[in-house]
Structure 1
Amino acid sequence: MRRGLEQLSFDNTYARLPEAFYAKLNPTPFGSPPYLIHANRTAAELIDLDPEQLTRPEFVGVFGGSLLVPGMEPLAMLYAGHQFGVYVPQLGDGRAILLGEAVNDRDEKWDLHLKGAGMTPFSRDGDGRAVLRSTIREYLCSEAMHELGIPTTRALCLVGSDEKVYREQVETGAMLLRMAPTHVRFGTFEVFYYRKQYDALKILADYVIDQHFRDLKDATDKYARFFAEVVERTARLIARWQAAGWAHGVMNTDNMSILGLTLDYGPFGFMDDYDAGFICNHSDHNGRYAFNQQPYIGLWNLSCLAQALLPLTDREALKAGLDRYTPLFEAEYLRLMRAKFGLSDARPEDDELIRDFLGLLQESHADYTIVFRELGEFFTLTPPSRLKGEGEKDRLREHFLNRERFDEWAARYRDRLRGEQSRDDERRARMERVNPRYVLRNYLAQQAIDKAQQGDFSEIDRLFTLLQDPFTDRPGMEPYAAAPPNWGKHLSVSCSS
C-alpha cells in the first residue's frame, strides 16, 4: 500500500520507554528556506511512502525540520560510549532527532532519524547541525554499502539550506533522514551500566530483545544468547568491511549498532592503493581505527558491551559469547575472500594464498578494487605466455612491481583453480557479482561535494544511480572505475566529514 506523508503509520515504541532514555523535543528548522537536494525512491518504499510524495513541498518541510506529520513523537536518544578507548559518560543524539518509528504493511519498523536537526540536551558544545559535505558523504555511502551487501543504515533524503554552519571553515547546513530498524548502540547499554541504573539496563535489554530478537524472548538465558547474537552480527559485519576494503574511521562504542549495521558515517574510506594500515581519519593520530585494526576493535567494543551486560547474566556465559567472535570473523572473512578469488571449494591452503596476494598488493601499492575486478579475467586454460604474447597485455600482471613474485603466486592460483576444475567463464561471472566495478572513492564524493557547494547537484544523482548497481559495467562511465588521480588518493577526512 502506498501512503501519503500524512498517512504514514507509526508505532513509537522507544517513546514509551521511561523518560530516562531520551529527551523529547522537536527539530529546529533552518533559518533559511530548506530545499530538496536528493531523495531515495527505494528507501521511500521501505515505509510504504508513495514516491510521488517526494516532490511535495510538505516533504521538504517534514525532513527539513519545520513540519511534523500525525503520529510522530520526536526525541533525542541518550547513550554514552568509549571514544578512542576512553569512556565518555554522556553523549546522546547531539545533532539528530528520532522523529518516529514508521511501520510498513509487512510489519517492518523503521526509525526516521533526522541528522542535523538542531541542538538537543546532548549537544554539549555543538551547534546541532550537520554540513552539506558530511550529509552528501553519508547519503551516498550508506546506499553504496547496501548495494554491496553490507548491513547498513539507509538514507531517505538529503535536504539543504543556505544557513551558515561553522566547522573548520564556514559551510552550509543540511539535514539527512537516516533509517534503520533501531538506532540503539552499544553505548546505550553502557550509559545505564556505568550509572548503576540496572533496572533501566534490564528494561533496555528486554525492549531490544522484544523488538529485534523475538525468538529469544522466552529463553531462560535470553541475555547471554542476545549477546552471542550481537557478537555474531558484529563479526560478520566487520568481515564484510574488510573484504570490501572499507574503513569506518571512528569505531567508538557509541557508533556500534546493536543490530550489526554500519552506523555513523564520518571519516570513512574505501581503499585506493592497498595498505593494510590505511587510516582514513586524519584525527586518528595513533591509528587506533586503521583498516587492519578493525577486527580487533570489534572484539574490544564487544568486550565493553559484555561488561555493560554483567548485571543481567553470568560472566562465563558472556565470555563464551565473546570467545566466538574471532572464529566467526575469520570464517566469514575467508568465505568472502574465497568468493572474491572465485574459489568454490574450501581448502586449507586458501588462507596463505589470499594473504600472499594481499602482500603483493601492499608491496606494489596496487588498487584494491581494480585488481580484484581484473582478477576475474585470470585464465586457467590459456598458458600465461599467450597472455603476454601476440601483442596482448596481461593487465593483471602489470599492477605488480615484482613480476617474478606475481608469476609464482599466479602459478599457485592457477593450480588451485584447476584443482577444483574451475571453468573460466563461469568463475568470471561469479567474481563479477562480488567484486564491484564502482565504489564510492573519497575523491568521487569530493567532486560531488564541490559541485553541490556551487548549487549543482547533478553529480550526486549520477553517483547515486551508478552505485545502485556497482557490479555492472556502464558504457561511458569508465572514469568512475579508474584509479583516482594523485590529488584524490590521500584526501584528508575528519569526524566532521
Structure 2
Amino acid sequence: MKALDELNFDNRFAALGDVFSTHVLPQPLDAPRLVVASDAAMALLDLDPSQAREEVFAQLFGGHKLWAEAEPRAMVYSGHQFGHYNPQLGDGRGLLLGEVYNDAGEHWDLHLKGAGQTPYSRMGDGRAVLRSSIREFLASEALAALGIPSSRALCVIGSDTPVWREKQERGATLLRLAHSHVRFGSFEYFYYTRQPEQLQKLVDHVIAAHYPECLEQPQPYLALFRSIVERNAELIAQWQAYGFCHGVMNTDNMSILGITFDFGPFAFLDDFDAGFICNHSDHEGRYSFSNQVPIAHWNLSALGQALVNLVEVEALREALALFLPLYQAHYLDLMRRRLGLSTAQDGDLALVERLLGLMQLGAVDYNLFFRRLGEQPAPQALGKVRDDFVDLAGFDQWGHDYLARIASEDAAGRTARMNAVNPLYVLRNYLAQKAIDAAEDGNYEEVRRLHQVLARPFEEQAGMQAYAERPPEWGKHLEISCSS
C-alpha cells in the first residue's frame, strides 16, 4: 500500500503534445478541506486509507501542491451538444493532472474537476461548486457499487472560494479517476478541423493504451469502433435496466471506454416513467430516459463519421448496426435476472414490457418493486406489491403469467439471487439533496454516511432503513440544473 506521495506517474496523453492539450496549473482554493473520500477508489491506486491525512488531500486536490512528476493538461475536444455541433469545447474547468499506474499495471487518469480557468473555459470561471461535486462523487461510486461501468471519484474538496451561479456558492474540486478521459468529441475535433494526421495519432494512442487486442485484427481501426459500439451497448442496457438517467448525453460526454462519464443533471428513477426528463434545461426531452437508447446510437454514428477517413463507410455502418441487437440482448438478460429468471424463453421481453406498462400507469417505485418481488416466495411477494398498482386486473394477469413463467425455474436460492442484482439502496435525488444541504452548512457527516450506505447497495444495513424508503412527494422526479 502507498501514500499519496508515492504514486507512479506515466503521463502518456501529455506526451502526445500541445495539439491535444494545453499545460495549465490548477488555481488554488481558499481554505481547502476534505469533504468526503472513497476508500474503494483509493484502493484502485493502491493507496492506504488508514494513511490518508485530510490536510494532504486538501493541499494536493485544493490546488496548493502538485507532485513533481505531474504534468497538468487541459484536453481539447469538440462535440455535438443537444444535436448541434460545437467546434471547440475542451476542459474548461478540469485538468488531467497526470496518469499513474498501480501495482497491477493499470493506468489511471487523475483528473481534477473545478481546477480553475483554462484556454477552453469559454467565458467561464473554471470552477465547480460543492453541490455538483458531491453529486458526481456519490453517483460515480454508487454506480460502481452496482456494477455499472463509471468513472470513479477519489474525493471532494470544499473551500471558502466564492463562486457565482444562480446565486453565490462555494467552490469545490473533485478528483476523478478513469482509465482514459478521451471522448467521442476528441475524435470529432480533429475530424472537423481537418487534421487527419492528428486524428490518426489519437486513434493509435487509444488502441495502444486501451484496446491493444485490436492490433491483432486485420483492420484495427474498425475493430476499435466495433469495440466501442459493443461496450456502449452494454452500458446503456445497464442504465435502462437500473433506471439511471444521464441527462446530458452530448458526444463530448461519451467515453471511448463505454463508461458513465461527465455527470450533470443525472437521476435514478423513483416512480417508473419512461418519459422522465431529469434535466430542466432539456425542454424537448432529447435526453429523456426512454431516449437514451436511440441517442447512444446517434452518438455512435457521430463517432463513426469522425472515422470515415480511416475505415470504409460500409464497414462502419455494419459495426454500428450491432448496437441495437447487442443492447437488447444485454438489457433482456439483466431484466430476466431482476425478475429472478435464470433461463431464457421467447415471451420474456413481452413479460418485461407488460410489467413496465403497468408500472408506468401506477407510478410504481421502480427499484423497490424488484427488491420486494424477491424478498418472499413469489405468490406472497406478488400480494405484497399488488397495492402499488392502479390496474389491478392487469397486474393480476401479469402475476399469473409470471408465476407460470417461474414454475420452471429453481426456487432454491431465489431470494439470494434476486437480492444480488436488485439494490435495496439507490442514489435518489432527494437523498443527495439532503446531504448537499447539510454539507453547504459545513456538516459533511450525511454525505459520508450516504456514501457508505451506497457502497453496499444490495446488502441490508442495520439502522439504514430510511435510505431504502420511497421518497416523499417533494423528492420525486426532481429536475436538476446543468449549472455547476
TM range (shorter): over 0.9
Give the CA deviation at 1:366.
Answer: 0.6
Give the secondary structure class of the aligned counterpart of 1:217: helix
Task: Encode CA deviations 1:429-463: one digit per residue, 9 max, x unaligned.
Answer: 11111010000000000000000011100101110
1:12 aligns with 2:1: no
Q: Distance in 2 between matches of 1:14 and 1:408?
A: 57
Residue 374 and residue 52 in structure 1: after superposition, are their counterparts in 2 closer, same or farther (change >3 A)?
A: closer
Indicate which of 141, 144, 152 corresponds to 1:143.
141
Q: Distance in 1 between matches of 2:123 and 2:478?
A: 27
Residue 201 and residue 367 in structure 1: after superposition, are their counterparts in 2 closer, same or farther (change >3 A)?
A: same
Matches within 5 A, 1:281-296: 281-296=279-294
Give the CA deviation at 1:9.
Answer: 0.4
Tell me the TM-score normalized by structure 2: 0.98
Matched letter for residue 12 of structure 2: T
Indicate which of 222, 225, 230 corresponds to 2:223.
225
Give the secondary structure class of the aligned counterpart of 2:311: coil
Provide the residue aligned with 1:22 in structure 2.
Answer: 21
Give the CA deviation at 1:162.
Answer: 1.0
Task: Encode CA deviations 1:74-132: one digit per residue, 9 max, x unaligned.
Answer: 00000000000000000000000000001111110000000000000000011100000
Provide the residue aligned with 2:242 in structure 1.
Answer: 244
Q: Distance in 2 between matches of 1:465 and 1:57?
A: 21
Give the CA deviation at 1:45.
Answer: 1.7
Q: Distance in 1 between matches of 2:420 and 2:243?
A: 16
Provide the residue aligned with 1:486 in structure 2.
Answer: 473
Provide the residue aligned with 1:102 in structure 2.
Answer: 100
Provide the residue aligned with 2:339 in structure 1.
Answer: 341
Q: Is the 8 A contact 1:6 1:70 kept in 2?
A: no
Give the CA deviation at 1:495.
Answer: 0.9
Give the secondary structure class of the aligned counterpart of 2:9: coil
Matches within 5 A, 1:72-151: 72-151=70-149
Give the CA deviation at 1:378.
Answer: 5.6
Give the CA deviation at 1:422.
Answer: 3.1
Give the CA deviation at 1:421.
Answer: 3.6
Q: Is the 8 A contact 2:277 2:479 kept in 1?
A: no
Provide the residue aligned with 1:42 in structure 2.
Answer: 40
Matched letter for residue 333 of structure 2: R
What is the RMSD of the two structures over their aligned residues, measured on CA atoms?
Answer: 1.3
Q: Is the 8 A contact 1:72 1:100 kept in 2?
A: yes
Q: Is the 8 A contact 1:40 1:157 kept in 2?
A: yes
Q: Distance in 1 between matches of 2:57 and 2:464?
A: 32
Indicate which of 398, 417, 422 corresponds to 2:410.
422
Give the CA deviation at 1:377.
Answer: 3.7
State, as a whole percentage, how many aligned pairs show the same letter: 53
Q: Distance in 2 between matches of 1:282 and 1:486?
A: 18
Give the CA deviation at 1:490.
Answer: 2.9
Provide the residue aligned with 1:444 in structure 2.
Answer: 431
Task: Encode CA deviations 1:155-188: one digit per residue, 9 max, x unaligned.
Answer: 0111000111111111111000000000000000
Provide the residue aligned with 1:398 in structure 2.
Answer: 387
Provide the residue aligned with 1:256 in structure 2.
Answer: 254
Give the CA deviation at 1:18.
Answer: 2.5
Give the secondary structure class of the aligned counterpart of 1:171: strand
Q: Distance in 2 between matches of 1:487 and 1:56?
A: 35
Indicate which of 306, 309, 314 corresponds to 2:307.
309
Give the CA deviation at 1:3.
Answer: 2.1
Q: Is the 8 A contact 2:341 2:409 kept in 1?
A: no
Indicate which of 163, 166, 171 corresponds to 1:165.
163
Tell me the TM-score normalized by structure 1: 0.95
Q: Is the 8 A contact 2:253 2:262 kept in 1?
A: yes
Matches within 5 A, 1:340-419: 340-377=338-375, 379-380=377-378, 387=380, 394-418=383-407
Matched letter for residue 250 of structure 1: V
Q: Is the 8 A contact 2:374 2:419 kept in 1?
A: yes
Q: Is the 8 A contact 1:35 1:160 kept in 2?
A: yes
Matched letter for residue 410 of structure 2: S
Q: Distance in 1 between matches of 2:114 and 2:51?
A: 22
Task: Encode CA deviations 1:25-80: one digit per residue, 9 max, x unaligned.
Answer: 110111x2101111112211211223244215233111111111121000000000
- Alignment gaps of 5+ in structure 1: none
Q: Distance in 2 between matches of 1:145 and 1:58?
A: 27
Q: Is the 8 A contact 1:133 1:449 kept in 2?
A: yes
Give the CA deviation at 1:362.
Answer: 0.3
Task: Encode CA deviations 1:235-264: one digit per residue, 9 max, x unaligned.
Answer: 000000000001000000000000001001
Residue 340 and residue 319 in structure 1: after superposition, are their counterparts in 2 closer, same or farther (change >3 A)?
A: same
Q: Distance in 2 between matches of 1:65 and 1:486?
A: 40
Task: Encode CA deviations 1:207-261: one digit per residue, 9 max, x unaligned.
Answer: 0000000111243300001000000000000000000001000000000000001
Matched letter for residue 496 of structure 1: S
Matched letter for residue 391 of structure 2: N
